[in-house]
Structures are given as structure tokens and as C-alpha cells.
Homo-oligomer: A and B are copies of this chain.
Amino acid sequence: MTTPAPDPTQLLKCLPLFQELLPEQLQAIAAASRQRRLSRGGMLFQKGDPAHGFYVVVSGQIKLAFPSLQGNEKVIEILGPQQSFGEAVMFMGRPYPVFAEAMSESLLLCIGGEAVFALLERDPGFARRMLAGLSLRLHTLVQDIETYSQRSATQRLVGFLLQLYPQGASGSHEIRLPASKQVIASRLNLTPETLSRIFHELSNSGVIEVHGKTVVIPDLTRLREYDL
């Protein structure tokens, strides 16, 4: 039933973060990492759990979110293959500020903190790549704040769709939503009802067509206009 365990070294070397490491360094990291399988709905960690390392998504999808008293959680990020998370928390030796749940059958690599710290000692280039990676995330978050605070619900959705649109690809004009509309609504800080209504409006004005999880964009330029 379960797919065969892939070689961790192979997986690691595909990550931007580890791109330029020497084989022996890769080995060291690989040795300090464990694989972790989760089925849909499985919890990787809870908010408040202590962090001993960071994670890389190999396959599947993981969502990071805040639990909420009334069960309506707030999704911070939806992570796919090749994306990593938890580095920041590891460096600070703090508990996780969010929880992580698998949205589908997922495979993860869990990389122990000690190995990273050891590598940091020896390879300044590694430090620099790590720093750059973290900076990128910071940058993204700053933009998220801009988004949340200055843009309407419609603009947020359009921005999201545009971001999903394969770079420069002018062929297909078709997007597959990466998650259920509920989850996307939460990511965009909207209720499912509102999201539904906006999809409807955009359809009516002919800017997009929605068929289940498929969104067709007949005129990219026109959609972009909503993005201000």
C-alpha cells in the first residue's frame, strides 16, 4: 500500500536550501533526518509543541494554521512538495506558534536541529543560504500583511489566482485549485460564503469560469485589472 521509501539524500539535494552542499554534508543532514508519513487529517505537531528540527514536504500537502476556540481555524500557509517550514522556530528554541496538519497523504522529512547547527559551524555558505531562505519568507509575510490590510476580498482572491497561474504560461488559461474552497477561503481570510459569492461575481462578469476545482481564465489581462 505505502510507496517504497525514497532515498533521503536524493530528496534533500533537490531543495533550494541544500542545493549546493557537498555530498558528505548532504550525508550528514540525511543521517540526522527521519521520514514521516501522514494520512489525510494527520497531525504533525500541535501549536505549543517543542521544536527540535524543521520539516520538508516531499509529497502531499501540509497546512499550517492557528487553532481557534470555536473550531474555525485560521490557515497561515498551504505547503506543497519542496517547501520547508519550522526553521525559524528551531533557531529560537521556541514552541511552534501554529499546528501542522496533513491535507492529504503526505511524506515529510524531519531534519534534526543538531545536524543543522553542526553544519553551520563548518560551512558559511550554508549559513548564507539559510539566511536567504528565511529572508524570503519574511518578505512574503510582509506582503501578506499588506494584502490583508489594504485589499478587498475580491482583490485577495484575484491575487491568489494570479499567483497560481503558471509563470508566463500563455497556453492553458486553466488553473486547478490546490485545496478545497473552504481551505482557500481561510487562507484568504474569508468565510466560505463570501468566497463563493466572489467566485460567482467574477463568473458573472465573465472574467473567470469556475467548474469545481478548475478555474478557466479567458482573459488574463482583464483579471489583472482587478489586482489594481
Contacts and interface: CB of A to CB of B under 8 A. Distances in A.
A148 B150 contact: no
Contacts of A127: 120, 124, 127-128, 130-131
Contacts of A132: 91-92
A5 interface: no
* Copies of this chain, tallied across the complex: 2
| Interface of chain A: mostly helix, strand, loop or mixed | helix
Given A89-B135, A120-B124, A134-B134, A144 B143 contact: no
A205 interface: no
A211 interface: no
A87 B124 contact: no
A184 to B, nearest CB: 15
B139 A89 contact: yes
Given A120-B124, A149-B189, A139 B92 contact: yes
A22 interface: no
What are the 9 tightest A-B residue pairs by CB atom distance, in nearest-first order? A127-B127, A88-B135, A91-B135, A121-B124, A88-B138, A141-B141, A91-B132, A91-B131, A92-B135
7 contacts: A68-B150, A88-B139, A90-B135, A92-B132, A92-B136, A134-B135, A144-B145
